[in-house]
Amino acid sequence: MKRIKQILLYLVLFLAISFAVDAWRGRHLPSGPIAPLTVTTLSESKVDVFQRSHEQPLVIYFWGTWCPVCELVSPSIDWLAEDSSVISIAIRSGDDAKLMQYLSANDYQFETVNDSTGMLAQRWQITATPTVAIVANGEIVSYTTGASTPVGLWLRLQWAQLMH
């Protein structure tokens, strides 16, 4: 019983620290309603981000092929994309061919927008990668930056679906 209490205490402390770090890192990130935004994916699909977030909560994943932490988070995003709405925005990760080669080599299936100039990231005030935003009904309901666990991302998405 004592062991279970210790584990629960560590879990609560870990969650509190994680949320505090996210709040500090995200203090300059926009919140609330998003501006209308239509992006074109590498597969030439047009995605109306605002509209899609009204259909179901949308995970927007800002990352880069050059980002070592993204290598840890991208598999979780790919896993989420199997059953959830996900759009990834690859920041300054080369031309389309190079980015598609990277996605293929890692067997990532998530929809990807090539933000080769970093303009989308700048528009969203992204200063750290990876950053994951969850948008529901046209409003940002959650941000997390840096390393994230599959469970942590899934729980954030579940929270957004409850609010949706």
pTM of the model: 0.82
In a domain, 116, yes or no: yes
Q: Residues near 82 by Cβ (< 8 Å), separated by ≥ 6?
A: 109
Structure confidence by residue, pLDDT tens digits, 28-75:
666 667 888 999 999 999 999 999 999 999 999 999 999 999 999 999
Residue with tokens 């954030």: 156
| Domain assignment present for 10 | no
CATH number for position 100:
3.40.30.10
Residue in the structure block whose two tokens are 């899609």: 52
Domain that holds residue 103: 30-163
The pairing of strands 46-48 and 139-145 is: unpaired
Map tokens 């930056």 to a residue: 145
pLDDT tens-digit profile of 71-129? 999 999 999 999 999 999 999 999 999 999 999 999 999 999 999 999 999 999 898 89
* 134 domain residue, yes or no: yes
Count of domains observed in the chain: 1
